[in-house]
Amino acid sequence: MDVNSQNFWLVLPGLLQSLADCDFAVIDLEMSGGVTDRDDSRYSGLSGKELSYAMAAHAATQYNILEFGLTLIKNPKDKNSEFVTTTYNFAVNNLFFQDTRDEYIFQRSQERVINFSVTALDFFKKKGVDPMTLNGFEGEHRAGVPFLSRKEREEAIEQAIRDRKFTRVGCEEMDIPARTFYEDNIELIRKWYNAKPRPNSQVIMLHPRSTRVSLYRRLVAEILEEYPDCFMEPFYSYGMRISVKTAETLKIEEEKRRARVSDREATIKKQACLSIVFEALCGGNFLDLIDTVELSATLAACPGWRNNIGDLQRHLNKCQTALRAKRPVLVGHNMVYDLTFLYDAFVGCLPATLAGFQFRLLAIFPRIIDTKVLAVHINHVDGNDPLGALYNDFKHGRPEITHALGFGYNVDQGRAHSAGFDSYMTAVVLIRGSCRKLAKVKRGLPPWESEFWGSVRNTIRLGRGTKHVLGESTSETSMCVMI
């Protein structure tokens, strides 16, 4: 199923239920760029696995996710049942909303970089975007599902609490009139404040009549950073009034702060759509990212869904509880780049070292299988065959694999290099490759603790022909914290 900004909220309740029910979650990403030059000076002194990780981490910070593919696998109930897959292909929006004042303020504080390789421009060309002028890019991109990292969400709330409403004045703006105004009023405010003014006293400052009123107000705001018990308000159109805060003004200030935080939480919930899916995958708290009132109103137009907020809330609570108790095994193919891109987009800054990365990664995803490593484990390839070649070998045969109605993403057309279909191909390799090695499947794939997964458990391919063991997580319910 293709998922975009138009149908995301309609798909979400069923997606969360499928995630809670599945045993394996297979991912694949289409990125706007990938491998970087290993001769780059930033890699000086690095070799082997550390070099491979550094290159993957740098690519993740330079490029973006364009599509996020997800195939969920549910083990059969008995030996006569089929494996059931559910596939989603999320178009990803790396831009920010600007529909409300708070959304505009928030996006101005962000420094998200958007870059494209030539391959990515070809990707957009197929979607009607001019690769030379990028005409049509914004419309195509905004049709995707937006996201926020944990770091971005945390900083967004802190920013709303701090309430820095002004941008500091740069040197290029400090001409002679501005500097004179700044220096005169530093002295004026200092003398007034040192005289220990009563709570109801005030000082009025007049600024030059000009079109730069906002500049003078920013200068005064900078001065008042040293006087936190004072506040500024406009005085007609040609001045500012500085007063000492009173109980009443503190109450008003707190009400404004709560309103800012409420607006910011609404901005986050609107922007963090795909983050809900990520948090569900890793057993995190996704309920705080969902506005159940808005979601219920959206679902009201969906046949078969009762417009009852209580029912919806119980459904979401049930899914989160199930996923926190037992999140699915995360599966990918040759997935080091998928993992670094996921971490950078949905968690935050990547650790500087491979050791730091694997420690934090296993805290989020304690169970990982790389089918590139699995293919070698089952003596099928030397580790260099592409995913498409593996899929062609495994796409027919037993065990039976079926897809939930409406979720067999391009199974018949076989559209490779679409994240959704690539995740489905990886799922087929996982199921039939494992079962071929097992020879006899009694009931689904072996449990995670089985010796069968011993040589592939939490092991990824890191560089050509090189395996890397990430290690064992301390427990299934290992921490899902802000990292």
Transcribe 452-464 into DSSP letters.
Answer: GGTTTTTEEE-ST
At 315, list the tokens: 């459904």
Does pLDDT of 338 surpass 90? yes
**pLDDT more than 70, % of the chain:** 85
The two structure tokens encoding residue 154: 């945390």
> How far apart (Å, rounded) are the C-alpha atoms in residues 240 and 117?
51
Looking at 203-286, list the stretches that DSSP marks H as alpha helix, in order from N- to C-terminal side.
213-224, 247-271, 273-281
User: Which range among 62-66, 82-86, 107-111, 372-376 shows the weakest confidence by mean pLDDT?
Assistant: 107-111
**Are 310 and 304 in contact, with CB atoms under 8 Å apart?**
no
* pTM of the complete model beyond 0.75: yes
Q: Predicted confidence band at 209 (pLDDT cuts at 50, 70, 90)?
A: confident
Q: What is the pLDDT of residues 215-232, one digit of tens each?
A: 888 888 888 888 888 888
Q: What is the pLDDT of residue 80?
A: 65
Check residues 81 and 329 and name the one with the higher pLDDT: 329
Residue 324 C-alpha from the chain's centroid: 19
Amino acid at 146: P
Q: What is residue 440's predicted lDDT score, i.e. its pLDDT? A: 59
At position 319, the amino acid (one-letter code) is: C
Domains of the chain in sequence order? 2-93+143-147+272-469 (3.30.420.10), 149-269 (no CATH)
